[in-house]
Chain A
Amino acid sequence: MTKDGGIKIDVWINEERLEKLKAAGLAEIAREKFAGMMVLEIACTEELKDALLRKYPSAKYDSSTTHSIELIPREAKDRIFSTALKLHSTGPEVISQFLQEKND
């Protein structure tokens, strides 16, 4: 879950992604999550979660432990990361915009 307990998507940050975040002045919004692994937590609403699960049938929502949407394909994660960079945000508008682009 996000810091405020909501649904989220974890976008893991490798060196390449970290450089892009730094270039966009967003490095501080990535946080260390586990043993040095950095993550960008993208917030998601209930409606957006359902839309994502419909779009990616292989994805799963972990309702019991992490409250995160998992197994979203890697290409989609790449695009979610790009959208977050473009919008300078980790709010639900990232997923909303991502889904709109996907639908275009």
Chain B
Amino acid sequence: MNNLGHNYKPVLEHIMRGEVEKKLHGLQVLPVRREIAHEVISLAYGFFTPVSGFMGRDEVDTTLSRMELPDGTLWSIPIVLDVKREEVKRLGLKPGDSVLLEYLGAPLATLDIDEFFSYDLGKMAEMTYGTRDVKHPGVKRTMEYSGDFVAGRINLVNEPVFNEPFSEFWKTPLQHREAFAMKNWKNVVAHQTRNVPHTGHESLMKQAWFAANEDMPVDEIHTGVLVNAIIGEKRTGDYIDEAILLGQDALRKGGYFKDNVHMVTFTLWDMRYAGPREAIFHAILRTNLGCTHHMFGRDHAGVGNFYKPYDAQDMLKAERDKLRIKPVFLRENWYCPVCNEVTNEALCSHESQSQNFSGTLIRSILTDGVKPTKRVMRPEVFDVVMSSAEKYGFGSPFVTNEYLKSRQPVFNLKKMEVFAS
């Protein structure tokens, strides 16, 4: 099987399997927070191929200045592990050491330390996001780093055990490729989402399916839509993760997509809202999953007014030759009362009568618990979103403080008796 990922680099897993406990005895332990743990897991399974560990200074430098890795591979977002200087000193860590990363009170991975370095956080933020404004959530995240970083390769020692409903949707990059092969998909178009689907999203996915099918005959179907949700940092008002996954899956279960053209999975990643640079990252990520095409709509991965609506599409066009995935560029869908259908602004001339799918408007409807018309949201999607609200969201399909505090974890880690006494 061809398991080549971004820039024709093989998608490799970096996982220690078997009796790992003995190998970990005596290692110093460095606890990591959720966002780092998620990136450790993604690095280890090859989601970020060819990056297989936390970046060193040179990699960060070239990522920021030339948007590439030192070997010239296109790369847009720094993948870094910040540490507290006093903790490094306390543990006596130095380049060449291995350290055990701990999360949820259990071993997670080993890090083979290559380098310690400091970095100007303002520069990192400005070159990644095009701004130093801390109102930008990515800038805020960067400015909260300690400024001291450790670089090195990762080896996962404890594979995450995903809880329901996440377990139903979890696939590693290699498992994605196996699943595509099982479905006889030759072309796969990725849909990046953090949303519960309304009919505007559904229609965009259907438009993208035809684009991705290209010139393949349709007597037998060999093209699929991969809905790859981003599961990571949540803010109040976001849709809860469970409603996103189950709502997207309800489109197929409700028959709006056939079984042989639709699949829902997720990737552990905290959205950076880096607009154009994040669009490049998403293209790389889905290349590594085995996708051949990727949907990019208006203001992809943007936030507020930090980027122009088609900045991301412009950057993808500029970097097209360095990508192994074809962008499917889309304009917005709207509901047109004249056409009496959900249609695309690139096609419909009734602009003055168009009704836009605003996220605010859909949220307002769901907050009232009012079942939308079928033209707005499929009843099966609405039903599963509201049942997810009851089951997982403390009564709300949106993230609340209670959800942030008490939600069930996405995954658990097996406890091991390895910590140094």
A interface list, Cβ under 8 A from B = 10-14, 17, 33-37, 58, 60, 62, 65-66, 68, 70-74, 77
Contacts and interface: CB of A to CB of B under 8 A. Distances in A.
B308 interface: no
Given A70-B363, A71-B363, A74-B368, A36 B373 contact: yes
Nearest to A13: B370
A73 B368 CA distance: 8
Nearest to B398: A71
Contacts of A35: 199, 335, 337, 342, 355, 373, 375-376
Contacts of B363: 70-71
20 contacts: A12-B365, A12-B370, A14-B371, A17-B370, A33-B355, A34-B355, A34-B376, A35-B335, A35-B355, A35-B376, A36-B373, A37-B365, A58-B236, A65-B360, A66-B358, A66-B361, A68-B364, A71-B364, A72-B367, A74-B368
A15 to B, nearest CB: 8
A36 to B, nearest CB: 4
Q: Looking at chain B's contact residues, is the secondary structure mostly helix, strand, loop, or mixed?
A: loop
A74 B363 CA distance: 12
Given A65-B358, A70-B367, A71-B237, A58 B400 contact: yes
B376 A36 contact: yes
Q: Nearest 8 pairs between A and B by C-beta?
A: A35-B375, A36-B373, A12-B370, A35-B335, A14-B370, A12-B368, A35-B376, A34-B355
Contacts of A60: 237
Contacts of A13: 370
B184 to A, nearest CB: 36
Contacts of B368: 11-12, 74, 77
Interface string B353-393: 00100101101110111111101100000000000000000
Nearest to A34: B355
Given A35-B376, A74-B369, 20 more contacts: A13-B370, A33-B361, A34-B361, A35-B199, A35-B337, A35-B342, A35-B355, A35-B373, A36-B376, A37-B370, A58-B236, A58-B400, A65-B358, A65-B360, A66-B361, A68-B364, A70-B364, A73-B367, A74-B368, A77-B368
A80 to B, nearest CB: 10
A68 B398 CA distance: 18
Contacts of B237: 60, 71
